[in-house]
Structure 1
Amino acid sequence: MVSARDWVGARTTVTTVFIVAILSAVTGILNISSPVAGGVFSSVIPEVIRITAGFTGTLTGFLLLASVYGLRRRLRPAWYSTVILLPVSAAQGLIQSPARAIPLIGFSIISLVLCLLNYRAFDRDLDWNVTQLSALLAIAGAQTYATAGAYALREQFNGVDSLFDAFYFALVTGSTVGYGDITPRTAVAKLFGMSALLVTVASFAVALGVLLTPAIEARLTKALGRMTESQLEILDNHILVLGHGELTEPILEELEDRADVLIITPNAERAQRLSDRGYDVFTADPSDEESLKRARVEVARSAIVATNNDAEDALAILTARQLNPDIHIVAAATQRENEPKLRRAGADTVISPAALGGHFLAESAIGGGGLETVEERLLEEQPDEMVEDADTNAADTDANSDD
């Protein structure tokens, strides 16, 4: 059953911001290729601003895509940038052409509301490592060097008349585009151009390596049947399956396409097989505190513990209950005498499949009728319907006891 939290949670926020980013980029491209005269403020806004809003809409879209990456990691700076860019995106739509930008404006407003509602969900600080800081400083330093040098030697260049021209020269030089519209006229300018080329290209190469390394690591992690940190950080209102065994398989089949499920198992080979089948798997010890924290147990909807080892299940239950006192924990007891122990460990509901199956078989053997019908009804009934029936029966029992 989909709850209201699923519709307005952090995952939905990231999705809608991603849609805004795509719409902004597409709308900007359309306005560049086929400009539309008019707009709500066309009578008071100069034409140059309307034209600028047209092509900068694409830039806003790409900036929002970068913010989406940060939102997936629940970064607070990404939340701030998104809150700033969404009104800009909506304003660009109003300035350009409201008729063409209606979806952009609408999704921008919806995304902004969702961002404000989920402020607490994006609470991670931006933690730059030494490599990332070095890459940023290298790019900034190289661009500063090329811009300042070109401006200082502007009389020895063709086409450099302002600081903006100098920055343009630094950018096209570092990206190795080299349109040829700015050229050195003296030996000194040529020597400077060569040095600027080496410095800026090297800085871009360093930055490219820093950006590609996490992507390569993510691919390798997926190939090994594990989830990446960014995938773990976006989990919200999910169901944790702590451990994997024979009892877990039918549970996964029942939950498939009904909820977001994360399986935690220490067995790397089993994790690989489950990942190949399309399940989200985290290779870790389900009774380890750090592992459950990384699996975001604090915002999980519920936890299921159903392996063939009641002792290990009890440890997983204790850890999950300690980290999230409000989480609903369901456990399967391999041995019926362990049911009270699992409840004392912190499980809200404990079921013994072996005892239940044995009861059904025994009743059937001594002539109990209708058991197959009961089994078929239980298997065909949706989980939410079963919960409603249980609540109704509990209410009837309380009413009868009062009478």
Structure 2
Amino acid sequence: MAGDLLDQSVGSARGTVSLPDQPRSPWWELGRRLLAALAILLGTVMLVYVDRAAYVDNNDLPGRAVGLIDAFYYSTVTLSTTGYGDIAPVEPHARLLNAFIITPARIAFLVLLIGTTLEVLATQGREMFRVARWRKNMGDHVVIVGYGTKGRSAVETLVNNGYDRDNIVVVDSSPLAKTDANNDGLTVIPGDATRRSTLRTAGVGRASQVIITTDRDDSNVLATLTVRQLNPDAWIVSSVREQENAPLMKQSGANSVITSSDAVGRLLGLSSLSPMLGSVMEDLLTYGEGLEVAERDLLVSEVGQQPQSLPDQVIAVVRDEKVYRYFDPVVTQLSRGDRLIVVRPAKELPWAPRPGTHDEDFAADEED
């Protein structure tokens, strides 16, 4: 019995057809439904005119037949529920036609004409209100230029580290990327990221960070130049496919440049020479499992200690906006205000508690 039910559910699932939505302009939808309402009106006019002998106009002279204009007038006031009563059906079959054909047509007419108009206007107004509210509240956000594989991975990393999706804006001209980003709960600005108007719409001038990840180095360079002109203070991270373009990207204003082809090539080479080393490097780049590379604040209890003596594996120290390797003599002893680049378990473990998760005091807070 259970097997039969399972087979039926699987069969019904296999028989389900899910077609993609076809987005259309609300004005196109309004025009289409207005044409349908006009078709109902004209159909009613023809029905009344063909059967005009069964109608009487109380305002006309006795014996005068209902004409085409009278049929149009009667259909208009009937479908709009005005109903002045000067023209009325007098034959039994005409009254039946009014009850079973014209009355349903009246309902359909009102739904199409009035309901659709209100729906379109309400949708447009609601969308304008949402956009205005978004523009007012947007600031110190992250702009992702390009929502391909690299852009999606960057967003996933930000979200997994506690960043709110509402503070991430995607810029991409691809309709497919727009659909994917919207489905992921992100705001999308469709357009060319090398144009000032597109970047202004995305609020680049008020963004705290901009990540540029298109598939073309020339587009990345031009987008970086434009972003830097619009926002001299934003932290710009850009990707390039070829290492030879990295210096040009730096000169264009990027704070950090990631060479995708070289990074993949090095990982492939390490995996070939030492499969175990390659797996460790892949683990460091994968979020949520095994090991992770992270930046954290210095705790009060860690001030004055050596980087090698901390529970986390410290690989670098950030001091005065400069990065020092853990073995550099400048950071032999940790000082207030330092930040640590560490390798640590991706999840807090009983035998390796993550600093900063047990109500410890941060050195930066103590200093303030």
Shorter chain as denominator, the TM-score bin is 0.3 to 0.5
Which has the larger share of helix? 1
- Provide the TM-score with structure 1 as the length reference: 0.41
- Provide the TM-score with structure 2 as the length reference: 0.45
Give 1 or 2 for the bigger CA radius of gyration: 2
